[in-house]
Structure 1
């Protein structure tokens, strides 16, 4: 079976989301199996992000020397081998090492699939990045859904994650032949971000910080304001994820109709309005609606900024993407923690109002930045 370029790129993005979300339903099993308290589990989970942060800055240099295809396939098959180990680890140290290894593989895999997505846009001469990130979100839904359904049906966690790993292996095998093999034999392994690339990285940092904060704090905000039970408190993130997925799947069509600058102006402003709504303790449905606005507003920010990285000329694309991506990904790791500190000193409502202010900064500078990228 030989996939077309567009189908293979979409499948590669599904695999990335499928992988990271399949791990989430396994966390309670691993915690109980090892006997970790919340603090110990939190420290172990940091290893996943640490692994990705370790490799993302140098992934662009690796792509330049080996090509996207080899890095994509190698990292993909490494994920297949690592994932099943998560169900059988027996100590906190083993869990941390395994998660670090998974983070390394995911960092390399994400770099390869995003660079290939830029190549696909160029090869087909179409704006496609939002849709690719939309398929990543679809993969997140499918991964969590697959694991939840299998484990809910009584399948042993180790067998369930093995089934997921097999599906990933098939997807990587099908998509790898169409991943670009472009490479550059010269140039550094890593380049310090500068100019428009640095600005894009900072804007991505804010967007990722906002996304990560909704994931980590939306349920606590709802339960704290309105004393909702766990089931309804989770509706905030459901609303956010649903509108973000829909927004990304429709994003390329919207970009063709309204243009990058308009999307990067009004998208962050809609997100800011959503954050303000979440901070108003009027009714829980208004807060859930606010999270839906945040998802819709942020949906296409990072894809459009990544696409701009592919058009800039001050740095090679492979080095520029990993430089900007590394700064952006740091927002996922440090942002929610910073929100927690702010909430401790003030309140979660105040922390979300700060996120509203930060997203307006994106609206102010992102349109100007993509104009400079070419």
Structure 2
């Protein structure tokens, strides 16, 4: 009975670690997927360099403001809920960023996109800290490596789609589908809590 219980715990821990890796990959993949669209946004909206730079600040401001809130929400509602909600918001924003021609709507969407990215990034790190602690192993560098890998795949993949003549909108739909598939894989084993004190002893 003891060996069966230990095996079940090991399997659960392994699944949680895999879901954490996927969460970091999603974070890197989705934020980098937006980068190849920036020249298209600039051209579509007729923006100069200065205005574009100010607009991109909206993304950073949204991310910075959301991170403290994300940590508190993860502690209250769990990593799973916040990661799922934040990722779904990202999936909503990406097609909008590929098509928007209204400056106020672009500002709002960039802010929400940044806030969603901050939510994913912060909550993935909260989960990573708990999973690493439970494992008794050093795992954080590997998790962050998946963020970098996701960034490379996202930027290169979207750039490749655009170079093939696929429109920004349909390129973002591909990103959304892949992101949702990854989220569906990860979600069952994301932590339903967001504080180490709430987890298993």
TM range (shorter): 0.7 to 0.9
Note if 1:158 corresponds to 2:169. yes
Q: Secondary structure at the match of 1:77?
A: helix
In the alignment, is residue 143 of structure 1 matched against residue 154 of structure 2? yes
2-side partners of 1:51 and 1:142: how far apart? Answer: 24
Write out the 4+ residue segments of structure 1 that deviate beyond 4 Å after TM superposition: none
Q: Is 1:34–1:90's contact at 8 Å kept on the other side of the alignment?
A: yes
Q: Report if aligned partners of 1:73, 1:173 keep a CA contact under 8 Å in 2.
A: no
Specify the SS of the correspondent of 1:4: helix
Deviation at 1:183, TM superposition (A): 4.3
Equivalent position to 2:142, from 131, 144, 161: 131
Q: In structure 2, which of residues 51, 66, 77 is the aligned counterpart of residue 40 of structure 1?
A: 51
Pick from 46, 68, 78 the counterpart of residue 57 of structure 1.
Answer: 68
CA offset digits 1:179-210 (Å, max 9, x no partner): 111246xxxxxxxxxxxxxxxxxxxxxxxxxx
Residue 28 (structure 1) aligned with residue 39 (structure 2):
yes
Structure 1 CA distance, aligned partners of 2:84 and 2:119?
A: 10
Matched, 1:111 2:117: no
**Structural RMSD (CA):** 1.9
Is the 1:5–1:178 contact (alpha carbons within 8 Å) kept by the matching residues of 2? yes
Give the distance between the partners of 2:124 and 2:72, measured in 1 at CA: 15
Kindly state the Cα deviation for residue 63 of structure 1 after the two structures are TM-superposed. 1.1
- Equivalent residue runs for 1:126-275 within 5 Å: 126-183=137-194
Give the whole-Å Cα distance in 1 for the aligned partners of 2:16 and 2:106. Answer: 37
In the TM superposition, what whole-angstrom CA distance separates every residue of 1:302-359 from its partner, at most 9, and x where no partner exists?
xxxxxxxx8xxxxx8xxxxxxxxxxxxxxxxxxxxxxxxxxxxxxxxxxxxxxxxxxx
Q: Deviations over 1:227-281 (max 9, x none)?
A: xxxxxxxxxxxxxxxxxxxxxxxxxxxxxxxxxxxxxxxxxxxxxxxxxxxxxxx
Unaligned runs of 5+ in 2: 1-11
The residue aligned with 1:8 is 19
- Scaled by the length of structure 1, the TM-score of the pair is 0.48
Cα distance between partner residues in 2 of 1:183 and 1:13: 16
Distance (Å, rounded) in 2 between the aligned partners of 1:172 and 1:78:
12
TM-score normalised to structure 2 length: 0.88
SS of the residue corresponding to residue 191 of structure 2 reads: coil
User: Are the aligned partners of 2:76 and 2:193 in contact in 1 as well (CA < 8 Å)?
Assistant: no
Greater relative CO (CA pairs within 8 A, separation 6+): 2
Q: 3-state DSSP class of the match of 1:100?
A: helix
**Distance (Å, rounded) in 1 between the aligned partners of 2:33 and 2:194:** 31
CA distance in 1: counterparts of 2:193 and 2:68, whole angstroms: 19
Equivalent residue, structure 1, for 2:92: 81
State how far apart, in whole Å, the 1-side matches of 2:86 and 2:189 are. 16
* 1:55-107 alpha-carbon deviations (Å, 9 max, x no partner): 11222211111011100111111111111100111033222111001011111
1:19-64 Cα deviation digits (max 9, x unpaired):
1110110000111011111111111100001111121122221111
